[in-house]
Structure formats: C-alpha cells, structure tokens
Amino acid sequence: MTDISMTSAQSQSQTGKIVLRWLLYIALGLFALFYLMPLFVMITTSLKSLDEIRTGDLIALPREVTFDAWRTAWSGACTGIQCEGVRPYFWNSILIAIPAVAISTLLGAMNGYVVAHWRFRGANIIFSLMLFGCFIPFQVVLLPMARTLGIMGIAGTIPGLIFVHVIYGLGFTTLFFRNYYVTIPAELTKAAKVDGAGFFRIFWSIFLPLSLPIIVVTVIWQFTQIWNDFLFGVSFSQAGTQPVTVALNNIVNSTTGVKEYNVDMAAAIIAALPTLFVYVVAGKYFIRGLTAGSVKG
C-alpha cells in the first residue's frame, strides 16, 4: 500500500514539474514572438507590393511575394535628387567601418597592453582620462571635431570619418583590452624580458595570440557603434561620402507623394544586415569574451 501511495505522490510531483516547465516555455515563446514582431512586419511589408500594403492587413503574410521593393531600395530609391538606392552609401559605410574598426581595435590593444603591463608615471591618470572619454556625449565633440577635421583638411571625407570613429572608439577599446590584460600575470612579461623579447615582440608573440576573445568583443562593439552611427555620419560627411544610416534617413524622409513603405522597410533591413551578420557569426565569442577573466588560459 505504502509503495503505491509513494509512487503516486512521486508521479504527481513529476507531472507538476512538467507542467511548470511547459508554462515556462510558453511564456518565453510569447516574449520571443513579441520581440520578433517588428522584424516580422518589416520583412513581410518589404515583400508586399504598395497596393497590397494599402489594402491589406499590417501583420498579414504577403499574398504575392515580390522583390521589387528590395531592388528599388538597393539601387533605385531616391535620396533627395539622386536615385541610386542605398548601394553607394552601403559601400561608404563599409569603407568607413572596416578601417575604423581595425585601427581602433589595434590601437586599443596597444594602449591596453601599455596601461596594464608597462606602467609608467601617470599611467593611471592617462587611463582615467581615456575612460572619461567614453562618457563624453557625441554632441559635445561635434563642433571641436568639425574644426579639427577642417584644420587637418579631411573634413567631409571618408578618412575624416574614419579618424572621428577611431578617436571616439579608442576609450572603449582601451578599456576592454586593459581589463583583459590585467588578468594576465606580470611574470609573463618578465619571463619574456629575460628571454630577450622587447616591447613589440612581447605584444605580438605573447599578448595578441591570447587576445582572441577580447578582440571579438571589441570588433563587435566597434562595428555596431560605427555602422549604426548617424550623428557623426550626418555631421561630418558631404554628398558622396554619407554612410548608409544617413542615406536611409534621406530615403525615408525625403520622398514626396506616396510613402513607399515596402522600399523603406527593405532599405532598413539592408542597412541592418551587416551588424546582424557580425552578431550571428561572432555572438558566442561575444558572450565568452564578456565573461573572460573567469576563464584561465
């Protein structure tokens, strides 16, 4: 008797657990749906024709899938007087983002290495000032930066925008690398010095090979920041050097007459694709890198 009552009590608690587990999944599923809703609307809308958008339901699936809007967004949509789509601006963004990410990451790694392992008088002050740089709002630097770019003769050019992004990103990248490198024991540097390696040799042969997780974190962070930047892009560019974010704004805001929602949506998705791509490819390193330091080499 007791056996039977025991097992029934056990199976009861088992069912309870399963029900609870399912409730949890349902709740999580609902949240996921809620978050995915805007993306869903964007994608479906971009695949509909204008007629269908006007007559149909916002969240309905497209009756007829058409890629016309994507074609227009990529190479035909008008940004003001020019009608070349986002394509030239997309390339501008790539030309800005890739060098700016690479340079700011490399310089950040060097800075972090120096601040963490080549202590010099005033190192703390310099590091604090760099940290302070992270918290200066974009708007504050606009005017001095415009003046600086003017003096340097690179105002309105792509190198100018690269310069701005490198300077602004340096505080963050230095912080990332410094915090990663302080977890590397100082004895490693000492051993390398006794072995005869110099400043750059130690950086290149010992620190950089250890840095993959933090490089991934920094690249994702910097790429997202630079690619998604609008303020610097709109302030320090001129016709022909604008990044894709500025072009997107122009497409959406400067159309006259009928609003082409499908084209707007397609352009917005195109503009967001590279950052999505970077997250998907490097996302797991991102999480790992953020928790780095708890993991020993």
If the CB atoms of residues 172 and 177 are measured against another protein, the closer one turns out to be 177
Per CB under 8 A, the list member of 57, 187, 257, 280 interacting with another protein is 187
If the CB atoms of residues 154 and 188 are measured against another protein, the closer one turns out to be 188
Name the segment binding another protein (CB under 8 A); options: 145-153, 175-183, 201-209, 278-286.
201-209
Q: Give the distance between the most distant pair of CA atoms in the chain.
A: 93
If the CB atoms of residues 48 and 117 are measured against another protein, the closer one turns out to be 117
Per CB under 8 A, the list member of 197, 231, 234, 272 interacting with another protein is 197
User: Cα 252 to chain center, whole Å?
Assistant: 22
Residue 117: name the closest of 201, 49, 182 by CA: 182
If the CB atoms of residues 27 and 212 are measured against another protein, the closer one turns out to be 212
Restricted to residues 202-231, the positions that interact with another protein (CB under 8 A) are 205-206, 209-210
Compute the least distance from the CB of residue 211 to another protein, in Å.
10
Rounded CA separation 158/7 (Å): 73
Compute the least distance from the CB of residue 126 to another protein, in Å.
19
Compute the least distance from the CB of residue 118 to another protein, in Å.
12
If the CB atoms of residues 184 and 248 are measured against another protein, the closer one turns out to be 184
If the CB atoms of residues 153 and 209 are measured against another protein, the closer one turns out to be 209
Compute the least distance from the CB of residue 297 to another protein, in Å.
4
Per CB under 8 A, the list member of 54, 190, 259, 284 interacting with another protein is 190
71 forms beta bridges with: none
Residue 106: name the closest of 170, 159, 168, 161 by CA: 170
Restricted to residues 146-185, the positions that interact with another protein (CB under 8 A) are 185
Per CB under 8 A, the list member of 38, 137, 153, 196 interacting with another protein is 196
Compute the least distance from the CB of residue 202 to another protein, in Å.
10
If the CB atoms of residues 176 and 207 are measured against another protein, the closer one turns out to be 207
DSSP 84-146: -TTHHHHHHHHHHHHHHHHHHHHHHHHHHHHHHHS--TTHHHHHHHHHHHHTS-HHHHHHHHH
Per CB under 8 A, the list member of 63, 119, 201, 284 interacting with another protein is 201
Per CB under 8 A, the list member of 43, 107, 131, 192 interacting with another protein is 192
If the CB atoms of residues 64 and 187 are measured against another protein, the closer one turns out to be 187
Compute the least distance from the CB of residue 185 to another protein, in Å.
5
Residues found near another protein in the complex (CB under 8 A): 185, 187-188, 190-197, 201, 205-206, 209-210, 296-297
